[in-house]
Structure 1
Amino acid sequence: MASTVIDSKVFGALFGSDRMKEIFSDENLVQCWLDTEAALARAQAKLGMLPNEIAEEITKKAKSEFLNIEEIGEIYKSSITIVPLLKVFKKALDNNAGEFVHWGATSQDIVDNGLILQIRQAHIEIEKLVKDAYLHALNISEKYKDTVMPGRTHVIHALPITFGFKTAIWAAELKRHLDRLEEIKPRLFVGQFAGAVGTLASQAEKGLEIQKLMMEDLGLNIPVISWHPSRDHIAEFINLLALISGTIGKINHEILSLQRTEIGEVEEPFFMGKIGSSTMPHKRNPQVCENIIALTRNIRSQAPLAVEVMNCENERDWSCEISEWDFVPRSCILMATALEKTNDVLENMIVYPKKMEENLDKLHGLMLSEKVMLHLGQKLGRLTSHEIVYETCMKAFQEGKHMKEALLENETVAKNFTEDEIAEMLDPKKYTGLSDVLVERVLNNK
């Protein structure tokens, strides 16, 4: 019976990525533990510490499908170590092999290593989804690099930009996240085999050799020293997800904002049958964007917790581990869900260039005040021209006049510019700066 929104049959589609739920399922969790135990047995067999047939039996039966996972859960009611797994695994093994499983390891070795194996799988999915979002943003940027729209600062029309320029900023930010996801790998994908307090006392003679063979087998980096009480790389990963969620949340909030009835420049994907309201049939609400924004808020809320968990006591602290068992899967599942939905939004977003063009004149020419000020400043100086243009703009705003009309009424302006020159200065399509050049720089920085 589902009891969280992630696994809910009602709300699950809003919160749970199917692939990520598989990665953090009980079956895969147990499999990652078994993979670690099997790698340990194989390493010890190579070093002559275990008979080959024992390691082969452990490897052969190290499949979650052979184990009763519900029974493991029952034993967990009285133990939070790896003992529940070992008790159930032993029943599946023949030739007394169960007596040799977990030789010299400690519970946290298996749990930590299993977590890293799961995170590595999750990282692959997240990296792919971020790359897809990046490519979608690039495609939009290229398609609309010449589509002029109002640029806004502090929610007010500022200067003209292109829609491609706006989305190229998204793309550049997503590219930085791809770089971060790559850069974190050497620090994050580090295995664990250290023994009771991290000193490998039970395996002192061949401990480092076992560790090396295990990590090579599992494709993980060899730890320089035990990280039982050091959770900084886990915290870094969760905080990286928070950064990615910050970008994804911002992108979707921008789309939501531009979908406002009063703006109407873009719209999240729409299809017949998509219902916005139970009482207002006309509503085309940005409900997917709202869903994503909610998910990204929840992801970011896990970042402070991940840092808090770094405060582990002594050489072992299960309170840190138990917190990670909750927030690592939750963060990854919500992140994948937010990215999957964002990719659909970016791929199928509806863009309204005509509405963008209409909105360029919402301020009746006032948006081009900078251009007028700079032109006038070449003759009168910047401060003087700013004062003149400011007073003209405020007068035009209050009286509801077009900027052109207000400028022609100003004697100083009329003396220095013809009507045609003023009209030229007030053309928003001729004042997008280096938007096209900057978009190209992003497109070429793949």
Structure 2
Amino acid sequence: MDSVLFRDQFGTPEMREIFSDESVVQRWLDVEAALARVQGRLGVIPAWAAEEIESKARVELIDLEELKREMDRTAHPIVPLLRLMKRVCEKDAGEYIHWGATTQDIVDTGTVLQVRDALDEIERSLRELHARIKTLCVRYRDQVMVGRSHGQQALPITFGFKAAVWADEIRRHLGRLAQMRKRVLVGQFSGAVGSLAALGEQGLAVQRALFAELGLETPEISWHVSRDGIAELVCVLAICAATAGKIAHEIYCLQKTEVAELEEPFAMGKVGSSTMPHKRNPPACETIVAVARLVRHSVPAALEAVMAEHERDKMVLQTEREFIPRVCAMTHLVLRKLGAVLDGLSVRTGNMEKNLFLQNGLLMSEAVMMRLSDALGRQEAHEIVYRICMDVFERGGSLKQALMEDPVVAGRLDEDDIDAMLDPRVYTGLCGHFVDQVVAQPLP
């Protein structure tokens, strides 16, 4: 993710900034500053000390190389930071930093602040993605194409209908993000084992004021070993990434030479092969699919972290420190990259039309069966049309010719009837209605 060569295939500049070392330390300092501010206001610590702590809680005043050396020496992240803060604070103000807190309070709350920033970026990208897809829904509402099931041609649909399925899925993800925020963006301040013993009766007042100051929810009880919120975060982001991966994979499949209905953006200079100059590969879609898989594969680690021990457990925190930034970065990457793909997506309507007739009428077998069902019953009609279709599939020819030559069918349908039934443009059902319905839905 930090590679100069490959970082933009696994993350975005925004996420690298949110989860950079400087941002991590600044978020810790933001929590310490807010804690001192509310404690000074409530008379827990001297007001002058709170002002001094707040004025010096800036990452540029901290020597990060020295912090790293001390973290290695002490095997602890926050104690070295407190010592460095004491050094830069005037008088004895440094003695009042971290009053009544424990390390995990600062680290967890700092992480939640970073996650909030990350979710803002991810939600923005989801909304932009939804807008792009909605444009496709409207533009191609009535563009008929082949609908496929089990990898085979099935029935006609419209491209607008296909895009509307994507749009509705993303709308639901925005709802999930909104609901999740209240459970995930929750502060942590409860002392060594969650009891707030160090502050006694003042503990609740400090806790409520601290989280009001930081704009976070106040927990009902300590979540030091309740990591379900983090697990939910990862699961929801994995679902979002999976949708992006699914759409990218669909474009990848429809870009195959033999189908050629869609193509990701291409510009001269984009090389498909070091040895085959003709290749126009879909590398953006391939990257989206690959990275979406990596996000999904992070879910087990997040679920493992829920199984924490006693009242504190650093083992789960160590895994979270690794996968939270990675999952946020990769999720943002796939959403942004998919947005770029859709921005320049080439929709080859001519090939969509051509592929409707690739099987010489077999695409319309359901329409024929349903028409014959009125006279023969559904099961009997299915048996007859099945027999005719399999013969055409194996021997070649067209469904129209086979229907006209079949005595059972020919006795009930004339050529005009058969031509009307075999027209894929009139058999898209309620595709247009469903597109309109999805486009009209407000976003959460």
TM-score normalised to structure 1 length: 0.98
Structure 2 counterpart of 1:242, one-letter code: A
1:327 corresponds in structure 2 to: 323
Give the superposition deviation at 1:106: 0.5
Out of 353, 356, 365, the position equivalent to 1:357 is: 353
Structure 1 counterpart of 2:24, one-letter code: L
Out of 149, 158, 163, the position equivalent to 1:162 is: 158
Structure 2 counterpart of 1:45, one-letter code: G
Structure 1 counterpart of 2:32, one-letter code: E
Say if 2:125 is the partner of 1:125.
no
Out of 134, 148, 167, the position equivalent to 1:152 is: 148
Out of 23, 27, 31, the position equivalent to 2:26 is: 31
What are the equivalent positions in structure 2 for 1:131-280 lying under 5 Å apart? 131-280=127-276
Deviations 1:274-316, CA, capped at 9 Å, x for gaps: 1111111111100100011111011111111100001110000
Alpha-carbon distance in 1 for matches of 2:265, 2:243: 20
Structure 2 counterpart of 1:170, one-letter code: W
Say if 2:328 is the partner of 1:301.
no
C-alpha contact (below 8 Å) 1:81/1:108 kept by paired residues:
no
Give the superposition deviation at 1:50: 1.6
Deviations 1:109-151, CA, capped at 9 Å, x for gaps: 0001101000000010011111111111111111001100000
Give the superposition deviation at 1:13: 2.0
Say if 2:14 is the partner of 1:19.
yes
Give the superposition deviation at 1:154: 0.2
Out of 422, 425, 431, the position equivalent to 2:421 is: 425
C-alpha contact (below 8 Å) 1:242/1:300 kept by paired residues:
yes
Alpha-carbon distance in 2 for matches of 1:228, 1:84: 21
Alpha-carbon distance in 1 for matches of 2:431, 2:299: 35
SS at the partner of 1:254?
helix
Give the superposition deviation at 1:81: 4.1
Out of 334, 338, 347, the position equivalent to 1:338 is: 334
Deviations 1:182-239, CA, capped at 9 Å, x for gaps: 0011111110110000000000120000001100110011111000010000000000
Say if 2:28 is the partner of 1:49.
no
SS at the partner of 1:109?
helix
Alpha-carbon distance in 1 for matches of 2:156, 2:215: 51
Structure 1 counterpart of 2:66, one-letter code: E
Out of 49, 61, 64, the position equivalent to 1:66 is: 61
Give the superposition deviation at 1:72: 1.4
Out of 396, 404, 407, the position equivalent to 2:403 is: 407
What are the equivalent positions in structure 2 for 1:79-98 lying under 5 Å apart? 79-98=75-94
SS at the partner of 1:161?
strand
> Structure 1: which 5+ residue stretches go unaligned?
1-5
Give the superposition deviation at 1:80: 2.6
Structure 2 counterpart of 1:441, one-letter code: Q
After the TM superposition, list the runs of 4 or more consecutive aligned residues in structure 1 that deviate by more than 2 angstroms: none
Say if 2:5 is the partner of 1:10.
yes
**Mean Cα deviation higher: 46-55 or 377-386:** 46-55
Structure 2 counterpart of 1:186, one-letter code: K
SS at the partner of 1:295?
helix
2:372 corresponds in structure 1 to: 376
Structure 1 counterpart of 2:436, one-letter code: E
Deviations 1:62-88, CA, capped at 9 Å, x for gaps: 111111112111112132341121122
SS at the partner of 1:122?
helix
SS at the partner of 2:48?
helix
Give the superposition deviation at 1:320: 0.8
Instruction: Note the aligned Cα RMSD (angstroms).
Output: 0.8
Alpha-carbon distance in 2 for matches of 1:177, 1:220: 22
Alpha-carbon distance in 1 for matches of 2:340, 2:36: 45
Alpha-carbon distance in 2 for matches of 1:331, 1:179: 19
Structure 2 counterpart of 1:67, one-letter code: I
Alpha-carbon distance in 2 for matches of 1:80, 1:325: 14
2:430 corresponds in structure 1 to: 434
Deviations 1:316-361, CA, capped at 9 Å, x for gaps: 0001111110000000011111111011011111100000000001
Give the superposition deviation at 1:376: 0.6
Alpha-carbon distance in 2 for matches of 1:75, 1:231: 28
SS at the partner of 1:201?
coil
> Structure 2: which 5+ residue stretches go unaligned?
none
Alpha-carbon distance in 2 for matches of 1:224, 1:96: 34
Deviations 1:76-106, CA, capped at 9 Å, x for gaps: 2132341121122222211221111001110
TM-score normalised to structure 2 length: 0.98
Say if 2:320 is the partner of 1:315.
no
1:393 corresponds in structure 2 to: 389
Alpha-carbon distance in 1 for matches of 2:76, 2:128: 39
Structure 2 counterpart of 1:39, one-letter code: A
Deviations 1:232-290, CA, capped at 9 Å, x for gaps: 00000000011111111100000000000000000001111111111111111001000
SS at the partner of 1:357?
helix
Structure 2 counterpart of 1:178, one-letter code: L
Alpha-carbon distance in 2 for matches of 1:241, 1:375: 46
Alpha-carbon distance in 2 for matches of 1:92, 1:289: 50
